[in-house]
Amino acid sequence: MMNCHTIREILQQPDVWMKTFDTVWDKQNEIMEFMTSNGVSKQLDIFLSGAGSSAYIADTAACLYYRDGYVHAKSVPTTDMVSCPEYFLDGTKKLVVSFGRSGDSPESVASYNIVRKCVKDAAHLIITCNADGYLALTAERGRDYVLVLPKETNDVSLAMTSSFTSMLAASILCKNADRLGTEKEKLAGAAAFAKRFFSEEVLAQIKKIVNKDVRRAVFLGSGPLTGIAREAHLKLQELTDGKIMCAYDSFLGLRHGPKAVIDDRTLVVYLLSDDEYTRKYEYDLIRQVNAEHNPASRILVSANPDGCDCPVDLRINGEGLALGEDNEYKFIPYVIIGQLLGYHFSLKNGLNPDFPSVSGAISRVVNGVKIYNY
């Protein structure tokens, strides 16, 4: 592996998650006081929000919040709140959980200000990797709370890797701030699962897949793993500068048109649920793809032994790790397959994974966005 920031930031993730736990543990009382003083309950409107990869954190976290009883939790991208605020901001009291690696993107800044203007009782929980970003520096103390994650999470490379997974972990830890004593072991289990992706056997098989003639990739997930699939598809697409066109969908959604993209130069990545009921639908789709298509390669990722009888090129699972149903952190490592594929395909295409955008069309902090007064 070449010496670059991207692969270092991918490999460090299990350790950085435990540092993130320590950060939240140290701030536990402050976080709980913020939640209490702002009336955060399972009945409150909760927007989880970000742009790009940060929005995909919100997609995943919103499922986990809802399942835990936060019935009004939903993912609302900052890009939507900025361009169409009238469809989302009705003045009702709410908590906005904002994700921002830098905290400086134009939409992050604008959405914070628009929420302040439209919702008088809004409070912000800002989860960021940059203590010097706009969001961290301008948040209203007392009314907002800024959680700055360990410095290692602030990726140097273009692609969000450690920042994505650590902000997702932090959002779950904040939700569970009143029971952090039981969370460290669960997060450690997810970290152990993540290390399976870095075994010599898995990395060798990934390199074999990368050496095939792959022009497209499709990532599939269900529930919270749909957001993970969305992030994984972006990692491969942006790290190859668009040379590999990628798509994402739910397992059931794929049949409704998107399945047409799968051909003999397509890589299909199945992110398998841990729910027995959901898996029935996932197995059916995998069998159908095997029967009707001839994808270049197939990868299956599962927190638990998958039990799938279909042939695949690579299986990664957490067998023996006891990642139980109540472990919300086990979904986080799934995204690593997209990160690793992106890194290795980037090298195959002669790109620098740290700066894969030859034209400069993609930048670490988005530019070219003009913000208008609302």
**Would you state the pLDDT for residue 3?**
63
pLDDT digits (tens), the chain, 374 positions: 456 899 999 999 999 999 999 999 999 999 999 999 999 999 999 999 999 999 999 999 999 999 999 999 999 999 999 999 999 999 899 999 999 999 998 899 999 999 999 998 999 999 999 999 999 999 998 889 999 999 999 999 999 999 999 999 999 999 999 999 999 999 999 999 999 999 999 999 999 999 999 999 999 999 999 999 999 999 999 999 999 999 999 999 999 999 999 999 999 999 999 999 999 999 999 999 999 999 999 999 999 988 888 899 999 999 999 798 899 999 999 999 999 999 999 999 999 999 998 877 777 777 778 889 88
Domains, the chain, in order of start with CATH, read: 5-188 (3.40.50.10490), 197-348 (3.40.50.10490)
Tokens 């993970």 identify what position? Answer: 228
Cα separations (Å) of 8 from 107, 155, 253? 29, 10, 35
DSSP strands (E only) in 143-273? 145-148, 216-220, 245-249, 266-272
What is the amino acid identity at position 176?
N
Q: What is the pLDDT of residue 249?
A: 98
pLDDT at 1 (0 to 100): 45
Please give the angle made by the CA atoms of 196, 325 and 30, to the nearest 5 degrees. 90
pTM: 0.96
DSSP state of 152: G
Residue 368's pLDDT is: 75
Overall residue count recorded for the chain in this entry: 374
Q: 3-class SS at 21? A: helix
pLDDT at site 370: 87
Q: Tell me if 57 sits within 8 A of 113, measured CB to CB.
A: no
Of 103, 120, 39, whose CA–CA distance to 72 is shortest?
Answer: 39
Residue the block writes with tokens 């400086």: 104
For tokens 């270092």, name the residue: 8
Is 107:175 a contact under the CB 8 Å cutoff?
Answer: no
Which residue in this structure is represented by tokens 């010496």? 3
How high is the pLDDT of residue 17? 98
The CA radius of gyration of the chain, in Å to the nearest whole number, is: 20
Q: Tell me, what's the pLDDT at 2?
A: 52
Residue keyed to tokens 């995204």: 335
Closest CA to 165 of 185, 178, 176, 150: 150
CA atoms within 13 A on the CB side of 66: 14
